[in-house]
Amino acid sequence: MTQTALDPAFIAALEQSWCYETCWDGCKPDYDGTNPALGQCFVSTLIAWAIRGYQDEIVPSLVYEPQAPTHKPAWHFYLEQTGPAAQKTAIDLTRRQFAAGSRIEECREGHPDHNRMVYHSVFEAREGASLAHRLGVLLSRLRENGFDAGLHPPDILSRLAKIFSYAKALPAPPPAGPSL
């Protein structure tokens, strides 16, 4: 989980910029500032991806924390530097939001949860609007904290939509009840 692929000034400004407003809505009930990385993974990953020239792979994953029920893993996103398989390196700026001993399961294309995670996080209307807002706030806070990446949310989100354009809404499961 290297961060050396990124400018230390960016990392410092990013960590100062995390706040309740940049936190993913699903984590906001638990966000009190004591775990500043909580709920910051996707917006942080997207900004790092853009800063690095959109050259890396965004990796959706499931995180199984030691004390959490195994049927309810947390969703998590991080970058992987592209290159030969032996040289691939994770860039995970928010891994510390999870408890020690947590297990990460990558959800790359083909994984049963991949499409659902990508579609919900990128294309679902409410989540998409929240992501655009959080991204804008985080970029603004980065500038206030001395790091102007020169990035704009629509540009990042447009590229994101292109790389995950294959993700589709899945049909709702059939209602529970007796079979006919």
Pairing mode, if any, of strands 74-80 and 57-64? antiparallel
Tokens at 20, concatenated: 């309740």
- For the whole model, what pTM was predicted? 0.90
pLDDT, average across residues 84-97:
85
The CA-based angle 103-21-35, given to 5 degrees, is 40
Per-residue pLDDT of 49-89, as tens digits, reads 999 999 999 999 999 999 877 778 999 999 999 766 667 88
Q: Which of 161, 146, 169, 168 is nearest to 46 (CA)?
A: 161
Mean pLDDT score, 158-166: 96
Give me the count of residues in the chain. Answer: 180
Please give the pLDDT value at position 82. 78
d(Cα 180, Cα 176) in Å, to the nearest integer? Answer: 12
Percent of the chain topping pLDDT 70:
89
Structure confidence by residue, pLDDT tens digits, 2-30: 556 899 999 999 999 999 999 999 999 99
Helices (H), the chain: 8-17, 41-51, 114-118, 125-144, 153-163
Choice between 88 and 100, residue whose per-residue pLDDT is larger = 100
Region 143-167: mean pLDDT is 96
Average confidence (pLDDT) over 83-97: 84
